[in-house]
Structure 1
């Protein structure tokens, strides 16, 4: 597993825990960065958590709009976190190709969520990827 893949997994862990506990992800991450009880936090993990948090309202709106038949609250928490990371990378991480953002999100879903989640994540991000250039133009 590459460094960025590990960073995504760590960002997912932070976003998932923050979602379940109802706390701010950046604050939770800051506690981890300052702690000697956990391994050092990769810079890309920090960028992902901060980016998802900064754009969360827009990210959640887009997920809700394109997750056919699913509300954000009805989705498994892991899927929400995976989609948030994937969508952040798709629209705001200029150095990550669209296909890589989607593939990495699908891989996270395969390893950590339900059997149906990889297909669901791929479908939602795929629908958004079709209009990603238009979305980036207005961000």
Structure 2
């Protein structure tokens, strides 16, 4: 597993915890960074959490727009967190090829979510990836 794959998993843990508690991911990130006994998150995981926290409205709007027949509230929480990380990468990280962001998200869904989740995640992100060149900011 690559360093960035591990970072995505650690960022997922933070976003999932924030979602479960109904708090801003920055709060959970701060708690995690202050916990001397916790495994260090690493720079990229922190960037993913901070990036989502900064752009959460736009990211959630994109997901909701492309998740045909699903609202964010109806999605499994782990799928919601996976989609948030990958959508951040698609929209804001010019150093991450769209195919990599989508593939990494699908792999997380395969290992952590329901049997139908990989196909769902792939479909939503595939639609968002089609817009990636227009969404990305230099």
Structure-1-length-normalised TM-score: 0.95
Structure 1 equivalent of residue 32 of structure 2: 32
**CA offsets, 1:87-123, max 9 Å, x none?**
0001101110000000000011011000000000000
Give SS of 2:74's match. coil
Report the counterpart of residue 13 of structure 2 in structure 1: 13
What is the alpha-carbon distance in structure 1 between the residues aligned to residue 132 and residue 36 of structure 2? 40
Following the alignment from structure 1 to structure 2, what is the Cα–Cα distance between the partners of residues 128 and 86? 10
* CA displacement, residues 13-42 of structure 1 (integer Å, 9 cap, x when unaligned): 000010010111111111111111211121
Q: Once the 2 structures are TM-superposed, how far is the Cα of residue 65 of structure 1 from its aligned partner?
A: 0.5
Alignment of 1:1-139 (within 5 A): 1-136=1-136
In structure 1, C-alpha distance between the alignment counterparts of 2:46 and 2:87, rounded to whole Å: 16
**2: CA distance, partners of 1:8 / 1:61:** 21
Please tell me the root mean square deviation across aligned C-alpha atoms, in Å: 1.2
TM-score if structure 2 supplies the norm length?
0.96
Paired with 1:15 and 1:124, the residues of 2 have a C-alpha distance of 19
Q: Quick one: distance in 2 between partners of 1:112 and 1:57?
A: 25
In the aligned structure 2, how far is the partner of 1:29 from the partner of 1:81? Answer: 14
CA distance in 2, matches of 1:104, 1:2: 10
- Matched residue count: 138
Q: Is the CA contact (8 Å cut-off) linking 2:18 and 2:24 kept in structure 1?
A: yes
